[in-house]
Amino acid sequence: MDTPNIQKTSLNENHKKRGAKMVSFAGWEMPIQYTQLKEEHHAVRTSVGLFDVSHMGEIRFKGSEALNSLQWLTTNDVAKLESGQAQYSLLPNDRGGLVDDIIVYCLEKNQDYLVCVNAANKDKDFAWMTKHNRGAQVTDESSQWGQIAIQGPKAHDLLKAVFNESFDAVKNFSVLHRKFTNHQGKPVDVIIATTGYTGERGAEVFVPWNETESLWDLLLEKGQPMGAQPIGLGARDTLRTEMKYSLYGHEINDELNPYAAGLGWAIKPDAKDFIGKAAILKGKEAGLKKKLVGLRMVDKGIPREMYTLHSKDGIQTGWITSGTHSPTLDAPIGIGYVDVKDAELGNEIFVDIRGRKVKAQVCKTPFIQK
């Protein structure tokens, strides 16, 4: 039965025809898996997988004040972007936490930028950006764009098969304007960005909403010899957890200082001023109390979100933000915040799993080296 007011991507019926198990996610009906999570996860790590990420939000900044506005709104240095480059960044609030984490795509330097935001935060982000805008033309274009992520070692082979050119020399976080031929034989303009959320090579393609299915079917057809298959949200989460990529609402939120999450590389306080700069720096300079770490289980058990973490002497030191059984390692892993004194590599931490203290160890991240 349909849930009232739930949103659907243009691939909704296509997913169902392909046997996807659908769930409600961030106000959208999305595929969580098509076959088995482990199989889909391994497909991305060994060949190529396709993700429908059309639920993500797209907000456009245009005009002579586009750069000035984004510099004020974000933590990273947007001025460094040339046309055809992208950048991971953060959208800070005025209290030292984050409204969201984002990717900024520079379509035309100083004049035209596309910002990809998390689906659950789209309306909040747009309201925040509009409120603190410094003269740019800001438009919510989310309803105009579908988005397909192509991820895996054979992703570039699939891109070549569809777009008739090699992408091997294209650097990560590049942005390209290209065309593909749709079901009716007509050329369709798309934006290809060599970004992703899995740790694998690949791209995310922004495609006009009503042409998304044409591109999706074409990718699956051309990708058949490479073992390409559609991938659900379940494997998307295990893939990003193996890489220790932050997910909003888990590792980052409107309260946590982004330096504690290890995101200082995306904060450029020496380059510019931005919203919440003083609050974020004050938290860092006062000495961060928590640090985000990776955990490998020593004893049996899977660390799940919000399970509490305890030091050797039994004192609660933090909590799990994300945890799963890693298909690549065939072992349970977790990400969590602990007191800085407990964050050293090799340190023993105990996870409270339903009243049982289970031993884990602080380990190097990402959990797998790519």
Residues 6+ apart with CB under 8 A from 242: 199, 326, 328, 329, 333, 366, 367, 368
The stretch 159-172 carries a mean pLDDT of: 97
User: How many angstroms from the chain centroid is the CA of residue 203?
Assistant: 13
Q: Nearest 10 degrees: CA dihedral of 251, 253, 259, 260?
A: -50
Q: How confident is the model at residue 2 (pLDDT cuts 50, 70, 90)?
A: low
Residue 3 has pLDDT above 80, yes or no: no
The stretch 120-124 carries a mean pLDDT of: 98
Predicted local confidence at residue 187, as pLDDT: 97
- Count of domains forming the chain: 2
Q: Point out the domain boundary residue: 287, 311, 326.
A: 287
User: Do 231 and 242 share a domain, yes or no?
Assistant: yes
The stretch 253-270 carries a mean pLDDT of: 98
The stretch 80-85 carries a mean pLDDT of: 98
Predicted local confidence at residue 235, as pLDDT: 98
For the domain that residue 349 is a member of, what is the CATH number? Answer: 2.40.30.110
Predicted local confidence at residue 175, as pLDDT: 98
Tell me if residue 266 falls in helix, strand or coil.
helix
Domain span at residue 317 reads 289-370
Each residue of 296-326: pLDDT tens digit? 999 999 999 999 999 999 999 999 999 999 9
Q: Point out the domain boundary residue: 244, 272, 287.
A: 287
User: Do 67 and 216 share a domain, yes or no?
Assistant: yes
The stretch 262-266 carries a mean pLDDT of: 98
Write the DSSP assignment of 138-178 as a string of letters. EEE-GGGEEEEEEESTTHHHHHHHHHSS--TTPPTTBEEEE
